[in-house]
Chain A
């Protein structure tokens, strides 16, 4: 054995190094030896089914499988002996002999091995073959068991990679067959359509329908998913000039070859017939297509006029956290340099802005302190206000995998999310009581002496002041506020403090509150108290909701700071801005989104440009938002689809999708990753960045770049943490995790290992304060909103995808006790009333919510859910209080009779006509 712990073996005459426990198969493959296989996979544990990888080992009897046999030091292995190959021939013959009538041509891999091992004829006469029905029930893939070789790679993928356990082997011996659920077919099973099984299948028994129709794809490029903030990497497969498949990238540190249904299959909206294809201008109640040049001129003229009459601050730009960094930067540059205002914001305002303000206060930072790979290293995971298996499914699968390897799990959520089944402790708190719960955990840790004294001494400040404050948050007091049993709170606190490496991942259930920033601060206090920060497997890690919510803020599309939250009045920043743009950096702080609505309503704001963000569907208190939009003199909406906001626009511009443009997204672990143009956009569509440049130029302030990489170079120049970023470097691997302070810097996996950006972490004493609305006699139920697996935010993308086959309505989850009191059954329509509005939603009785709390999503604009919500928001960040409002509930009169449900979202289907614009040619 070498002194590095490695062992050395001789395989086919080559000296091969292997790590202890590594199989002969993986070691041989690394050495470039082509050992045949069907059942083995680098993504799965050794299994030993196919026996094609058998080998000869000196001193060992028989032909052991190389995939299950660990390399021993000094081992002499031969993988291609004549006898070995003879056995392989016999095994391929057995496989071919069982292929069923409906199998069609044998899988490519089987044919390849048949010819490699010289198999010409099958010696068996009239062998019994596989005989099964094809399962076509899943919208995206089919299963033809007649081609199956029972290697169980699909079963193992579902178990080991995704952790859903939807697939099993049924029967034994020759009758072994793969079944979904309790042999009910994929659609009716608990399958989440992540596609891991399809990817693993070596014989095309599981195959993508799109590929089957279009033919074998050619992989033409690699890109980053445009859904959630995990930022999965995909190789894009094309056939016949169209994208037919997205294959998750094995080597990616983000998604390690895994994907979810949205990223893997739900990209088909790019080919939706509902895509906007031409700029359109409103003429009365009609929409008239116009040429791009005219559209650009119209914007330039209108914006110039408004600025001339009302000043630059009467204009605002809203960019999209779904757009690229380059586009977000350009929107901010356009507003600041061309218009002369800091009125620029993006959708991050309404999701994790409180995370930023909270983390700023305690650590001086505004992003995840650790990386997704740290989930594999953590000894305990605390998931707060986040439902990763639906909202961030690849991370959710990774968390489940961590639990299976032995990590402890705490879930803090008002709902019984899927992860609760894996959790050591579930603190089912009343929505809006995060601060009390975190202070209570701190109280236990302090009282029981479980804190990290060395860390507190060396790396924190304000402990003494703070510790006085938490004294009164005894578990019993906290139980009164939050409803969390005192003993459970103690258990959670002890587990978190003593694991050795505890990692927090939180979602909008912490930030989207009246006191969201405070919730974040109290959570950060826990990390500082225990020293669970600045090391692998620890930290505070917001799971960012949209693909580029991190980057859109990093590159300065925010009204009160510049890139990387640099101060607007910093002389260095101002000088650099002047030098690069030729214009001064405006000094008046801009309006945050909710402030923009107030400004529009009272006439201070006159013109807006909104890209890729459906404010008229997703912002809270929609009636107010819509009224504000209606007041504008000129509104430009730039989107893939004619969304709700477009209905208030004067001009609508068609946008390019993520596969139609170059750029970068920054995922939730600060990883700046390339988005690559794979196909041309439909004729006549410009990317956002091109449109912005042209409008600026038309306004007499020339802006032009020959490629988005040049925009990134400009960002890097002005952004300390991104100085070392360039497309050349991003293209060389899987992006870069900022801070990348200089050219050769490898990026930062774990932040704050030595010090915090603000020096020492500061314990911030914050008291619990109640949400803006608490249940009353008139409005006795607490409404919590969130999302489901198959949809994403406004649904702009997912509602134009076959994902609609799974879920095509929002539903109201309600506890059975409440439902029976109200006389509601699953499938009924419930009427929800708030002081602001009333809406109707199909009911789904569920034990996921506690009595008194109801839950729904806001993916479907026609339900107008967000009209119910108030404009209440977090003081510091203006992040809206999406997570708590109070409503009254009753059976809706004249039920429309929809919303049947089986509790898994399978039958949550109501066909609705999508609102379409009337187009006059």
Chain B
């Protein structure tokens, strides 16, 4: 048997040319297996084969490298790529190794062990385990998953639901996508465990329409898992019934907010619901519903498999486990970085991201998506964990990290993020619906040199009302990038009209 070659079919790898390399290798008679990506996107296409001491690979592979690849020349051990070697991969441990849709692969690599264990446990024991693991939601709000599950389990209801929030809308984030495209069974497994714990028989994965590859993979994976008895009626011969369906969103950022997501899932306009009642008590069709992020569910199989104590032993005091960070922006090495909570932002940018490209100087970094605070250099020592970030006036959000260099216009950047909110506001509450437009106008005026000193007072005052009185986190967090840009780069906001 000839050598097998592993070529990622993750969309980022495809964008870098992975399909062309795979086709060339296939045409030359090689056996090609399409796998998930390791998340080192700056190296894609990363073509791998089995070496004597594990996988070896060719980075930035093109069709021209086919001959070299086929004879096994010039490959380097993948494990020793520093970007990967320094990470602590649990949730993404199998990234790049397996064929995403192969149930065999999944099982060989330890898949369904968590679920198998859960099927033998009393539902309350599962929740106790998740609680003890101190797993917090990875969607942004960092709410303890076990507490949420318990609420849904205890809420009265003839029907309960489990919903995965896969509406990964923060620009520069892609960890949910990598799971959906690269290891869909992990998400499914986590959701089935949750269903058993809370007593749900129906689940939905709410995926954004911009993820066609992931949606196709998920649907195929659901069909195969159902056929194999991991979903559907009497799962693995137990009394557990759980049906799962993918629901495709329609392109609204707000539908990543859990209540708007539920409205959309019900076929309605994606508008935020007031809380309480919380979805855990009154969610989809007003029935008790667990809504968790994809990564949260994807972490659950390991929690069950390796035990709560294992999970609780990783990370900081109040942020347990690992966090898949997604590095983007003005950085040398963009990609997925799974690390235990606690390492500093600086370490992520330099040790993993490799710093900024030549000629670029660090100016600021935004963590947590378009609503995240903008941190200057002096805050780079902040450890990656929910509480330290909160203390520093920021959010970890879904783990997106975007680096900006010295050429960035901070006023325009602030305006850009406020414009994002103005465009994406659902329009339900006044501070967000009107306030975001008013704030954008002020920032436009400042950017164009038409600002007046009192405008900054107005902006601060308006921001405070938005933060304090908005219905959901979109309006409530929208002022943060603006206020932090203003706080750390005040000079830039005192500009004169540009000379033309």
Contacts and interface: CB of A to CB of B under 8 A. Distances in A.
A381 interface: no
Interface in A168-221: 168-169, 171-176
A174 B252 contact: no
Contacts of B423: 173
Interface string B403-446: 00000000000000000001111111111111111100110010
Interface stretch (B45-53, B326-334, B458-466): B458-466
Contact of A172 (B275, B424, B468): B424
A169 to B, nearest CB: 7
B276 interface: yes
Contacts of B462: 90
Contacts of B467: 62
B233 interface: no
Interface in A53-67: 54, 62-63, 65
Interface string A141-159: 0000000011010000000
B433 A174 contact: yes
B469 interface: yes
Interface in A36-94: 46-51, 54, 62-63, 65, 68-70, 86-87, 90-91, 94
Contacts of A125: 441, 445
B470 interface: yes
Interface in A114-158: 123-128, 149-150, 152
B430 A95 contact: yes
Contact of A69 (B276, B427, B435, B476): B276
B454 interface: yes
Given A49-B428, A150-B427, A172-B254, A123 B434 contact: no
A124 B430 contact: no
Give chain B's interface secondary structure class. Answer: helix
A75 B254 CA distance: 31
B429 A123 contact: no
Nearest to B274: A68
B445 A175 contact: no
B438 A97 contact: yes
A123 B454 contact: yes
A98 interface: yes
B30 interface: no
A95 B428 contact: no
Interface string A94-110: 11011000000000000
A127 B445 CA distance: 11
Contacts of B470: 51
B359 to A, nearest CB: 38
Contacts of A51: 429-431, 469-471
A497 B280 CA distance: 35
Give the size category of B's interface with A: 35 or more
Nearest to B427: A176
B55 interface: no
A176 B252 CA distance: 14
Given A125-B445, A126-B441, A48 B428 contact: yes
Contact of B425 (A86, A124, A149, A174): A174
A49 B254 CA distance: 15
A interface: dominant SS: loop
Contact of A127 (B433, B438, B464, B476): B438
Residue from B276, B426, B430 having most chain A Cβ neighbours under 10 A: B430
Contacts of B433: 150, 173-174, 176
B274 A46 contact: yes
B426 A172 contact: yes
A173 B431 contact: no
Contact of B434 (A70, A97, A172): A97
A49 B465 contact: no
Given A47-B274, A128-B437, A172-B252, A94 B469 contact: no
Contacts of B430: 49-51, 91, 94-95, 149
A49 B438 contact: no
A100 B426 CA distance: 20
Contacts of B441: 124-128
Given A65-B471, A169-B269, A169-B427, A90 B434 contact: no
Contacts of A172: 252, 254, 424-427
Given A68-B274, A168-B269, A48 B438 contact: no
Nearest to A83: B468
Nearest to A92: B430
Contacts of A123: 454, 458
Nearest to A151: B430
Contacts of A69: 274, 276
A46 B274 CA distance: 8
B471 A94 contact: no
Interface in A415-432: none
Nearest to A123: B458
Interface in B445-500: 445, 454, 458, 461-462, 464-465, 467-471, 476
Contact of A173 (B276, B426, B464): B426
B454 A87 contact: no
Contacts of B465: 86-87, 90-91
A174 B433 CA distance: 5
B429 A174 contact: no
Contacts of A68: 274-275
B211 to A, nearest CB: 21
Nearest to B470: A51
Nearest to B435: A94
B426 A94 contact: no
Nearest to B421: A173
B276 A98 contact: no
A94 B252 contact: no
A50 B442 CA distance: 22
Contact of A94 (B271, B434, B476): B434
A169 B252 CA distance: 15
A493 B252 CA distance: 46
A63 B274 contact: no
A173 B435 contact: no
A422 B445 CA distance: 53
A171 B423 CA distance: 10
B284 to A, nearest CB: 16
A81 to B, nearest CB: 11
Contacts of A98: 434
Contacts of A126: 441
Contacts of A128: 437, 441
B243 to A, nearest CB: 23
B148 to A, nearest CB: 19
Contacts of B436: 173-174
A54 B441 CA distance: 26
A90 B465 CA distance: 7
Nearest to A130: B434
A90 B425 contact: no
Contacts of B471: 48-49, 51, 65
Contacts of B438: 94, 97, 124, 127
Contact of A63 (B435, B454, B458, B469): B469
A63 B429 contact: no
Given A94-B434, A123-B454, A124-B458, A173 B469 contact: no
A128 B445 CA distance: 13
B255 to A, nearest CB: 11
Nearest to B436: A173
Contacts of A150: 427, 433
Nearest to A51: B469
Of A54, A91, A126, most buried by chain B (CB within 10 Å of CB) is A91
Contacts of B442: 124
Contacts of B461: 90
11 contacts: A47-B274, A47-B428, A51-B430, A65-B471, A86-B465, A95-B430, A169-B269, A173-B425, A173-B436, A176-B427, A176-B433
Given A63-B468, A173-B424, 10 more contacts: A62-B469, A68-B275, A69-B274, A91-B431, A94-B434, A94-B435, A97-B434, A124-B438, A173-B425, A176-B433
The 6 A-B residue pairs whose C-beta atoms are closest, nearest first, are A176-B427, A68-B274, A173-B425, A94-B434, A48-B274, A90-B465
